[in-house]
Chains A and B, each alone.
Chain A
Amino acid sequence: METSNATPPTLSIRDLRVWFELRRWGFGHVGDVRAVDGISFEIRPGEAAAVVGESGCGKSSLMKTILGLYKPRTGSVYFSGEDIHAQGRKSIHAYRANVGYVQQDPFAALPAFMNVWQILEEPLIIAGGHNKANRQDRIRQVLEEVKIHPIEDFLPKYPHMLSGGQLQRIVIARAMILKPRVIIADEPVSMLDASVRVEILRLLRGLQQSHNLSFIYITHDLSTVKYFSEYIFVMYAGKLVEKAPIGRMLRNSSHPYTQALLSATSDPEAMNARVYKEVPSGEPPSLVNPPPGCRFHPRCSKCIHGLCDVQDPPEIHLTPQHQVACWLYSQR
């Protein structure tokens, strides 16, 4: 992946670790929830990557750290080659002006006491540099882009007057309003009716392509991935176990966890197939006391005893763009 493209990455994540401290009685360290434990990847302009993983594997924590909402324990996030935490608040603010955030639950993502106009005006007011006429133009423009019409009817409406699909379009409009270069979408359709999911995903993909955005799409639903993404990153218990372009991933998945995920769905394109039906038996490991060695080994059918359960697997490049963290491929 690093050598495949000459354009510099928009976003690069290096060895990111996000641990939540567990305390007793409000103090006294008990342990850490290792929600993100050593993740690295890069995204270039116009690329979309899907992060796929079971519930609770740390996807949201990863995204919030990328958005600068959580401070990483180690590692950092680089935007256009600059560490977003380099100059504290100032650099985070400058970076966030270039990032749009699409959340999972459109019913909770919008303030109930603001109408559509106010919701969309807020980022413009905060960013500054717009007069009222400018703001109005931009709001209309962005509502057109998310295919909300008639625009006039929607501006005075409050969130409770809108349907889930309409709400999610407003959330997307809000993410797009500052003309970001990166969009991070955390399970953008999981709360929506099946009937509007495809529409919203197509809309997101359309926006991504027409604006040449870098896009991170988080999902636990493998079947929605095909609407997106040049790449799939498979996440398991705080780590990325496999990264590959989508076509290669579907044909040549290498990590036993990925294979289990994919084989469980005979038709990975079926809209309603869910990851939770597909995962191999057993529980995802505790993030407080992760198993030694490969975190997947207790559930892995190809586990090499004495290796997988002792040592962390290295990241192996099968092709320049296909990496897998698994001992099975280290001897080849």
Chain B
Amino acid sequence: MNNFFHELRKYPSVIASLILISFLIGVSIYAITTIPYEEAKRLWRGGEEIWYTNPRQAAPEWINWFSKNKQAVSFSLRTTNPGVSRTILTEENGNSEIIFSIPFDYQYDSFPQELMIYFSSTFTAKQPYADVTLITPDGREIHLNNFALINRQTYRLSQDDRLTRWLRNDNVLQALFRDPQVETPTPLKGSYSVVISAYTFEANSTVDVELVMHGTLAGWAGTDHLRRDLSVALLWGTPIALAFGLLAALGTTFTTMVIAAIGAWYRGWLDELIQRVTEINLVLPFLPLLLMIGTFHSRSIWVILGATILLNIFGGAIKTNRAIFLQIKESPYIEAARVYNASDIRIILRYLTPRLIPTLIPQLVTLIPTYVFIEASLAVLGLGDPELPTWGKVINDAFVNSAPYQGLYYWMLEPAVMLIITSLAFAMLGFSLDRIFNPRLRQI
């Protein structure tokens, strides 16, 4: 074993691939532990009330690292966030005044798309009342609006007609955030704050607020046409892709090996049958069959996994494995085992198949990305599992929403890069393992 690791160090590609694989495994573990499965499904399939804090089709934040022109990054601030203050002033007759002060720093070269305030309030008969003011970095206090609150209410600045008229600008946010000293519209950088004074008229009446700004960037992964944060799909796509690839590779490789061993050991009609089934299976088009299953039967990832394994068991590997088994079947150590009465099953499982492990492990590792790609291809073609967030589905969404034509490259590239990392890592590892396990190939 020690020797084995020593040997490994001679192959830089192994080190590189192991680093990439550790990264993928780390991402998987992170995804599974921080976003539990049900939560991931909720975040991905939820709906407008979960995604409202995100703008549509916003590029990831790190775009700003590569550009001098800093775009506005979306955020959402609640009263629980540090810096946000809530002061409650109570008067005798059960009336209160609650003052929310929500400061935020704005250092971007573009205007925000939208500023929203989400109110949630409780009351029995008398509606609370709110008054909203924006304080700009240069100290102007702009009174935005005031209104009586219902239980849940959203105030969108861009849709405030009164403001539009008063500011004499169709683009309210541009009017509010621009530097008044400069001729061309440029955002004024600095600390803004939104101050909300809410008045309640009952003892148990409460008011809470959340300030949401939609910039042109959001999160480290960006968002899609439904305001979904792509990070959910990128993170959760990793364990799903790895599990699919690994299960499919393990399932096919080992079943194929055992079937080939059975054929080679017993020969006769059983072997013939296995050979003919393999030949028929080899001419069946695999991907179209999967597409048919996906279209007419089920898109569940388990069904697709099962079909992938079944259709690949009787693959070309049966032939190559069989050829090797036929050769080692005649080995003296197998003859010896027959002389001490080892049963056929025992010989197949304990004596024949272990000899193939050295050739099989590299084969298995290189198969993993193949199956990851198959799953992704189905998703790209619109046959991904309807429940799960996967890389392929992100690519499909991007395609359907013509992301490349809109210049939304991040949308396609992020999942594509994950796929490339996966295939590169496993392919490199597989090839290197092959060279380590089967040293005769080294000279070539």
Interface residues of A (CB under 8 A from B): 64, 67, 69, 93, 96-97, 99-101, 103-105, 108-113, 122-123, 126-127, 171, 174, 178
**Chain A residues, CB < 8 A from B332:** 103-105, 108-109
Q: How many residues of B contact A (CB 8 A)?
A: 18
Tell whether, in the assembled complex, residue B355 and residue A97 are in contact, meaning their CB atoms are under 8 Å apart. no
**Chain B residues, CB < 8 A from A64:** 335
B341: contacting residue among A93, A109, A113, CB under 8 A: A93
Q: A111-B351, A113-B355 are in contact. Are A178 and B333 (CB under 8 A)?
A: no
Tell whether, in the assembled complex, residue B346 and residue A101 are in contact, meaning their CB atoms are under 8 Å apart. no
Q: A111-B351, A113-B355 are in contact. Are A127 and B335 (CB under 8 A)?
A: no
Nearest 7 A/B pairs, CB to CB: A123-B340, A109-B332, A101-B339, A113-B354, A108-B332, A103-B332, A111-B333
Tell whether, in the assembled complex, residue A126 and residue B340 are in contact, meaning their CB atoms are under 8 Å apart. yes
CA–CA, A93 and B343, complex, Å: 10
Tell whether, in the assembled complex, residue B340 and residue A109 are in contact, meaning their CB atoms are under 8 Å apart. no
Identify the closest chain A residue to B342 (Cβ).
A126
CB distance from A156 to the nearest CB of B (A): 12
Tell whether, in the assembled complex, residue A174 and residue B336 are in contact, meaning their CB atoms are under 8 Å apart. yes
Interface of chain B: mostly helix, strand, loop or mixed: helix
10 contacts between A and B (CB under 8 A): A69-B339, A99-B339, A100-B339, A101-B339, A104-B332, A113-B354, A122-B337, A122-B340, A174-B336, A174-B340
CA–CA, A110 and B340, complex, Å: 13
- Which of B341, B350, B351, B355 has its CB near the most chain A CB atoms (within 10 A)? B341
Q: A108-B333, A126-B346 are in contact. Are A96 and B355 (CB under 8 A)?
A: no
**Chain B residues, CB < 8 A from A171:** 336
Q: Is B156 an interface residue (CB 8 A)?
A: no
**Chain A residues, CB < 8 A from B343:** 126
CA–CA, A49 and B2, complex, Å: 47
Tell whether, in the assembled complex, residue B341 and residue A111 are in contact, meaning their CB atoms are under 8 Å apart. no
CB distance from A208 to the nearest CB of B (A): 18
Tell whether, in the assembled complex, residue B339 and residue A108 are in contact, meaning their CB atoms are under 8 Å apart. no
Tell whether, in the assembled complex, residue B335 and residue A126 are in contact, meaning their CB atoms are under 8 Å apart. no
Identify the closest chain A residue to B346 (Cβ).
A126
Q: Is B320 an interface residue (CB 8 A)?
A: no
Identify the closest chain B residue to A101 (Cβ).
B339
Tell whether, in the assembled complex, residue B339 and residue A67 are in contact, meaning their CB atoms are under 8 Å apart. yes
Q: Is B331 an interface residue (CB 8 A)?
A: yes
Other 19 A-B pairs with CB < 8 A, given A69-B339, A109-B333:
A100-B339, A103-B335, A104-B332, A105-B332, A109-B332, A109-B336, A110-B333, A111-B333, A111-B351, A113-B355, A122-B337, A122-B340, A122-B350, A123-B341, A126-B340, A126-B341, A126-B343, A127-B340, A171-B336
Q: Is B143 an interface residue (CB 8 A)?
A: no
CB distance from A142 to the nearest CB of B (A): 13
**Chain A residues, CB < 8 A from B355:** 111-113
CA–CA, A93 and B355, complex, Å: 25
**Chain B residues, CB < 8 A from A105:** 332
Q: Is B338 an interface residue (CB 8 A)?
A: yes
**Chain B residues, CB < 8 A from A67:** 339
CB distance from B136 to the nearest CB of A (A): 76
